[in-house]
Chains A and B, each alone.
Chain A
Amino acid sequence: RKEVEQDPGPFNVPEGATVAFNCTYSNSASQSFFWYRQDCRKEPKLLMSVYSSGNEDGRFTAQLNRASQYISLLIRDSKLSDSATYLCVVNGRTNAGKSTFGDGTTLTVKP
Chain B
Amino acid sequence: GAVVSQHPSRVICKSGTSVKIECRSLDFQATTMFWYRQFPKKSLMLMATSNEGSKATYEQGVEKDKFLINHASLTLSTLTVTSAHPEDSSFYICSARAASGSYEQYFGPGTRLTVT
Contacts and interface: CB of A to CB of B under 8 A. Distances in A.
A21 interface: no
Nearest to A99: B105
B43 A102 contact: yes
A67 B46 CA distance: 27
Interface residues of B, number: 20
Interface string B78-104: 000000000000010100010000011
Interface string B49-76: 1000000010000000000000000000
B32 interface: yes
20 contacts: A32-B103, A34-B104, A42-B110, A43-B93, A43-B110, A44-B44, A44-B107, A46-B1, A46-B104, A46-B105, A87-B43, A96-B49, A97-B97, A98-B46, A98-B49, A99-B46, A99-B105, A101-B43, A101-B46, A103-B43
Given A43-B93, A44-B44, 15 more contacts: A32-B103, A34-B104, A43-B108, A43-B110, A44-B93, A46-B104, A46-B105, A46-B106, A96-B49, A96-B57, A97-B103, A98-B34, A98-B49, A99-B46, A100-B46
Interface of A: 31-32, 34, 41-46, 49, 87, 89, 91, 96-104
